[in-house]
């Protein structure tokens, strides 16, 4: 198949487009699908997400800007105006205020205790809601919908305030000028001055006000300072000592007073904390503390969102606390009494100053005047019983850690006083005295001469108690140790019974031996100890098999 040249195909497409255009003009109907044949298909067809109403047919409507429903930036529309209010509740209206233009969750009125749905009273008017489709510029205009004519009310209010302020100042200046004229006239009458400038004080005022940084108005004779006075000293230059109050250059804050040792009224700058703790600053701190404590207890109190409610709650809390304090105080006074002690003391007692004059010597004796009487209590003083000259608790015994009488050292309360004899008896019967007596007896025992072993051996030989090792033991009913310095007498019958019991114990098991030991008596006789020693084997000795490896 032979392909047509490109120029020929363009001519055919152009002729077809022109024929279609002429047909549309003759019939008077414009075809929305009239698309340039040279436009690609993916541009001519609307995407699947753009609903143009023409389906998938080629159409350039989605490529055009629709300005038919957009309002311009200068178009005004009603906002917030309300229509006439209804007389009864309508179904579907707001349950709180009764308006039809919003629901209860979108209502901006104060929540009522009983809404308009149940009361049918105070039905709010319906708001006028107007949907205005704005264009790109209108959406981003921050002043869109604002009426500049409403600002005239603010301007008129400020002008009225300024006019009233100006009138007050003029009246004050006029009064001051009249007083100065009277004063100048009196001086002229007294001294006879003929200066012309004194008759025109305005010139003097103008000269004084015509300075750098001053704005002078000749009509009202008012001066307005618009620059800082250069003579003012900066707060960090009031004290050049580096150890003085700290100055933060970033925040320009100096909490403490830079000048130390001056009175508060003489300070040029008292520090930033002076303003922080003056006026209502401390009250605000108390309110904030009350709000925090109330929030911790579950109450909805916030000083930032609703300060008026917080102030009222704090005032109510203080009133209830004062009433409760007074009630508690009154109940305690009614129960225990003592209201007379709450009365105000005399002024001379409060200040600690009286007209009573007394002079004392260096020794503390009264030279002139009368010594002040000592205050006495309601309790009885200096009352002694049972011949005592001191009260109970005037003496403390450290040995027994007890209190007693200082006159007789008796530790028994209510006892009869024995005087110095009681002191001697108590001292002799004390624990320290007994310890001293015991120490003396031990010293006397230590004074007995200690005998040597030779002397002790000779004494035993004289008594016939020494045993002969070569010939064996002495024939008697007692057995003795041969190598001890002192003879230990042992009963043979008891020793034989103890040896038999020891042999029997060794034949028992561990559990039986443990049960037998629990039932046995606690004290051990010398025969049982000797039987245990005789029953020990040689291998029980830990050093029996010791060999020197060196």
Q: How confident is the model at residue 30 (pLDDT cuts 50, 70, 90)?
A: very low
Pairwise CA distance, residues 388 & 391, whole Å: 7
The stretch 353-375 carries a mean pLDDT of: 80
Looking at residue 483, its pLDDT comes to 45
Pairwise CA distance, residues 467 & 251, whole Å: 110
Domain ranges in the chain are 83-125, 152-225, 298-373, 386-444, 477-539
Looking at residue 104, its pLDDT comes to 92
Q: How confident is the model at residue 331 (pLDDT cuts 50, 70, 90)?
A: very high
Question: CB neighbours of 320 closer than 8 A, spacing ≥ 6?
Answer: none
Residue 485 reports pLDDT greater than 70: no
Q: What is the DSSP letter of 419?
A: T
Architecture of domain 83-125: Irregular (4.10)
Among 90-99, 223-232, 394-403, 469-478, whose mean pLDDT is lowest?
469-478
Residues 168 and 161 sit within 8 Å (Cβ to Cβ): no
Q: What is the pTM of this model?
A: 0.25
Residue scoring higher pLDDT (217 or 92): 92
The stretch 379-402 carries a mean pLDDT of: 84
Burial 311-336 (b: 16+ CB within 10 A, else e): eebbeeeeeeeeeeeeeeeeeeeeee
Q: How confident is the model at residue 268 (pLDDT cuts 50, 70, 90)?
A: confident
Pairwise CA distance, residues 175 & 183, whole Å: 12
Question: How many CB atoms neighbour CB 410 within 10 A?
Answer: 23
Pairwise CA distance, residues 522 & 496, whole Å: 20
**What is the percentage of the chain residues whose pLDDT exceeds 70?**
67
Average pLDDT score over the chain: 76
Pairwise CA distance, residues 98 & 114, whole Å: 12
Chain CA centroid to CA 462, Å: 95
């Amino acid at each position: 198949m032979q392909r047509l040249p490109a120029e020929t195909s363009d001519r055919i497409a152009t002729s077809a487009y022109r024929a279609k255009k002429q047909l549309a003009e003759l019939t008077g109907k414009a075809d929305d699908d009239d698309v340039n044949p040279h436009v690609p298909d993916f541009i001519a067809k609307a995407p699947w997400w753009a609903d143009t109403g023409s389906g998938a047919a080629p159409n350039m409507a989605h490529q055009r800007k629709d300005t038919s429903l957009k309002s311009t930036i200068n178009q005004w529309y009603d906002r917030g105006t309300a229509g006439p209010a209804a007389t009864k509740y309508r179904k579907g209206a707001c349950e709180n205020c009764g308006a039809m233009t919003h629901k209860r969750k979108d209502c901006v009125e104060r929540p009522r205790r009983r809404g308009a749905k149940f009361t049918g009273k105070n039905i709010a008017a319906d708001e006028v809601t107007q949907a205005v489709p704005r264009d790109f510029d209108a959406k981003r205009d921050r002043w869109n919908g604002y009426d500049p004519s409403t600002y005239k009310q603010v301007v008129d209010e400020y002008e009225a305030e300024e006019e009233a302020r100006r009138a007050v100042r003029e009246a004050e200046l006029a009064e001051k000028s009249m007083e100065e004229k009277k004063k100048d006239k009196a001086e002229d009458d007294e001294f006879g001055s003929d200066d012309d400038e004194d008759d025109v004080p305005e010139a003097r005022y103008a000269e004084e006000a015509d300075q750098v940084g001053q704005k002078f108005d000749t009509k009202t004779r008012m001066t307005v300072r618009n620059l800082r006075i250069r003579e003012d000293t900066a707060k960090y230059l009031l004290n050049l000592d580096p150890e003085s109050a700290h100055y933060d250059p970033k925040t320009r804050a100096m909490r403490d007073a830079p000048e130390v040792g001056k009175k508060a009224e003489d300070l040029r700058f008292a520090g930033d904390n002076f303003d922080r703790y003056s006026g209502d600053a401390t009250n605000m701190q108390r309110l904030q503390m009350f709000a925090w404590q109330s929030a911790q207890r579950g109450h909805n109190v916030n000083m930032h969102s609703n300060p008026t409610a917080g102030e009222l709650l704090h005032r109510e809390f203080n009133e209830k606390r004062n009433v409760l304090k007074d009630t508690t105080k009154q109940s305690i006074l009614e129960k225990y009494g003592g209201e007379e002690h709450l009365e105000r003391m005399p002024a001379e007692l409060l200040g600690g100053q009286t007209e009573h004059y007394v002079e004392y010597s260096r020794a503390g004796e009264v030279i002139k005047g009368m010594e002040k009487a000592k205050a006495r209590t309601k309790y009885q003083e200096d009352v002694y019983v049972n011949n005592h000259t001191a009260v109970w608790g005037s003496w403390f015994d450290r040995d027994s850690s007890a209190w007693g009488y200082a006159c007789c050292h008796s530790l028994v309360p209510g006892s009869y006083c024995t005087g110095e004899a009681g002191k001697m008896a108590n001292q002799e019967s004390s624990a320290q005295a007994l310890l001293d007596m015991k120490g003396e007896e031990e010293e006397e025992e230590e004074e007995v001469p200690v005998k040597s072993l030779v002397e002790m051996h000779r004494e035993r030989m004289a008594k016939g108690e020494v045993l002969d090792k070569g010939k064996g033991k002495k024939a008697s009913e007692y057995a003795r140790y041969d190598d001890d310095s002192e003879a230990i007498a042992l009963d043979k019958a008891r020793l034989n019974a103890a040896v038999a019991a020891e042999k029997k114990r060794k034949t028992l098991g561990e559990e039986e031996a443990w049960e037998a030991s629990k039932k046995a008596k606690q004290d051990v006789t010398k025969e049982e100890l000797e039987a245990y020693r005789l029953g020990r084997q040689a291998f029980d000795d830990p050093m029996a098999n010791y060999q020197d490896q060196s």
